[in-house]
Amino acid sequence: MVKTFQHYLGSECHRTYSCVHCRAHLAGHTDLISKSFQGSQGRAYLFNEVVNVDSGIPQERLLLTGMHAVSDIHCKCCKTTLGWKYERAYENSQKYKEGKFIIELIHMIKDNGWS
Ligand SMILES: [Zn+2]
């Protein structure tokens, strides 16, 4: 058996986002929560669940929407910093983001050519 280096999303989820640098799967379209986020390098998407990422040490950061504790997330396969994870939100209106993941658009491609 060949040992695969990455976690593959299931076949029921053929609309997937992948790392633009190494093509590791990152998230399924069904885990997409919002496309209207802003990253440090342009647009970013909010996901419920991601795969093949490692997260760093949480830090407090003042974002446009208030103070948050966030940790950077990196691709497990190529180590590129992709975005961040919301560990904690201090504003009640932002609580829904806790435990969710931001990936910047410039680091993702859509697999299988779907649009
Ligand atoms: Zn990668």
- Ligand 1 centre and the CA of 103: distance in Å? 12
- Ligand 1 centre and the CA of 55: distance in Å? 14
- Ligand 1 centre and the CA of 22: distance in Å? 4
Q: Tell me the C-alpha to C-alpha distance, in Å, between residue 28 and each of 24, 32, 45, 63, 82.
A: 12, 7, 12, 26, 16
Which residues contact residue 110 at a Cβ distance below 8 angstroms, ignoring those fewer than 6 apart? 15, 16, 17, 18
Residue-wise pLDDT tens digits, 44-101: 999 999 999 999 999 999 988 889 999 999 999 999 999 999 999 999 999 999 999 9
Mean pLDDT of 102-108: 96
Instruction: Specify the amino acid at residue 2.
Output: V
Domain boundary assignment for the chain: 16-113
Give the end-to-end CA distance of the chain in Å, rounded to a whole number. 34
Q: Where do the DSSP E strands lie in the chain?
A: 16-19, 25-28, 32-39, 42-47, 53-55, 59-63, 66-75, 81-89, 101-104, 108-110
Residue-wise pLDDT tens digits, 88-100: 999 999 999 999 9
Q: Which fold has domain 16-113?
A: 2.170.150
